[in-house]
Amino acid sequence: MSESRLLRALPAALLLAAAAVSLWTVPALIRLAQVERTARSMDAAADRLASTNALEAMSASMRDIAAAVEPAVVHVSVAGEAKGRLGARSFTQSGSGWIWDASGNIVTNAHVVDGATALEVQLHDGSLHPATLVGLDPRTDIAVLHIQADGLLPATRTATLPAQGDLVFAFGSPFEFRFSMSSGIVSGVGRSAGLAEVEYESFIQVDAAVNPGNSGGPLTDVRGRVIGINTAIATGRGSTVGSGQFAGIGLAIPMSIAENVVTQLIASGSVTRGFMGVSVVDAERVKTMSSRNPIFRAVAEGFQGEGAVITSITPGSPAANAGLRLGDVITALGDRRIDSRDEVLSEVGTKPPGTELPVAVWRAKSNGATGERMELRVTLATMDPSVNAGFFLETFQRAGLSELTNSSRGGRPGVQVGASQGPIAADVPAGSLIVALEGQRVASVDDLWVRLARSTVARTRLATLPAANMTVLRPDGTERDVEVPLR
């Protein structure tokens, strides 16, 4: 190449070189500027966190909640025996609980301790204490234990129902990780989950992690006050308590129910329930019924929404005295909205006798016009535990056992048989005390009907012979297992 041509090509080469340098240096400079901006942002954020850190304040509050609650939380270990037609089998299981009072009463779930022959409670300080069963209520899944120990620190509690969105904290021993804590919010209140082992449901629904082992532990609010008892994981209707793994829906018994049940269990070892004196069905069912009764036709055609329709009223009952009528649609009881029959049973059955309840109803007008809404007030009476146990009452009478009453012997509660006749009288003479059914404790007539109902359902599912194994304490002091035919 000649010198002139080389001189002419030189500026182009310099331009290309400059362009190449700029292609490398400009991005590098941009990256450097970005790094510097990010570093300044990090430093500023760190300064703000060091001076006014809302998350640190929240973390400190959560540590305070743990410090306020954990000393009242306990771990419950259970050894027991389940009896059946195929014999007895031993089992061990565990759950959680919490200290109710300084006298040594411990609250947990009935399903945690049901069938126990030995109970042990571990306190937060690690000490172990043998426990005795004060009483349990299978309909609400609540039990009370008692330990002898000094320096017990009971939990603070409140019966005020939380609101949707409130922060909550669940304590217990999930999967044997003892004295654990999780947090979440209240997803809903007054929930019915259709659990197979809980007749009266009005749960607090939370998204705090609740797993097997949490059962019986306390659910608290942001002040560290117990607002509920962790009980179950929602895994579908018909599931059992204490089963499954957490899937975002934990259920807790509200303190408004627990206060009534625990107080009665401590006082007497059993629970007396409220009675209103109505039979009800879901409002949706009335709409599909082919009834000739003009009242029910008016409900089917005029009522919009969910509720429970009164299909019968016991004469002279609290409902009759309050002015409730056949065909009235109950839409609320107390502070609870009513969407179904089961919710009426739960709301009434978890209240003590003497409770005054406002009842919101929709009533069809006789002239066929749109119905009217009104509020009445009902004062609950005492429920006869046999009022809804007609089938089982007849079953016992056919077997030769009658005049069943709550009683106790030597501090052991049970159901006394007042009259016994026929072949069964040799094994269960009059004056015998029924203390267990299928190896599960029976402390009252109500307990007996609950155990029989669950035994019948279980045996129907397994297609086994319709008989139940009953443990009786005879008048001569001997104890015997006796089979009672269920049909």
Closest Cα partner for 473 from 426, 433, 440? 433
Burial class (CB in 10 A: 0-12, 13-18, 19+), 473: buried
Strands 329-333 and 336-337, by their bridges, are: antiparallel
Question: How far is 479 from 37, CA to CA, in rounded Å?
Answer: 83
Residue 461 in tokens: 């599912």
Cross-strand partners of 472: 434, 480
The answer to whether residues 467 and 485 touch, using CB atoms and an 8 Å cutoff, is yes
Question: How far is 367 from 349, CA to CA, in rounded Å?
Answer: 35
| Residue 75 is among the residues annotated as catalytic for this protein | no
Residues in the chain: 487
The dihedral over CA atoms of 241, 246, 249, 252, expressed in degrees to the nearest 10, equals 50
Helix (H, G, I), strand (E, B) or coil at 252: strand
The answer to whether residues 466 and 486 touch, using CB atoms and an 8 Å cutoff, is yes
Closest Cα partner for 134 from 96, 112, 105? 105
Residue 48 in tokens: 């703000």
Q: Choosing from 94, 202, 215, 455, which is the catalytic residue? A: 215
Question: How far is 351 from 417, CA to CA, in rounded Å?
Answer: 28
Helix (H, G, I), strand (E, B) or coil at 388: coil
Q: Would you tell me the crossing angle of helices 445-462 and 390-399 to the nearest 10 degrees?
A: 90
Q: Choosing from 114, 137, 141, 339, which is the catalytic residue? A: 141
Q: Within the chain, how many helices (H) and strands (E) appear? A: 10, 26
| Residue 215 is among the residues annotated as catalytic for this protein | yes
**From start to end of 138-193, where are the E strands?**
142-147, 167-172, 180-191
DSSP states of 75-140 as a string? EEEEEEEEEETTEEEEEEEEEEEEE--TTSEEEE-HHHHTTEEEEEEE-TTS-EEEEEEEEEETTT
| Residue 111 is among the residues annotated as catalytic for this protein | yes
Closest Cα partner for 451 from 53, 84, 3? 84
Q: Choosing from 75, 111, 129, 146, which is the catalytic residue? A: 111
Q: Which residues are catalytic?
A: 111, 141, 215
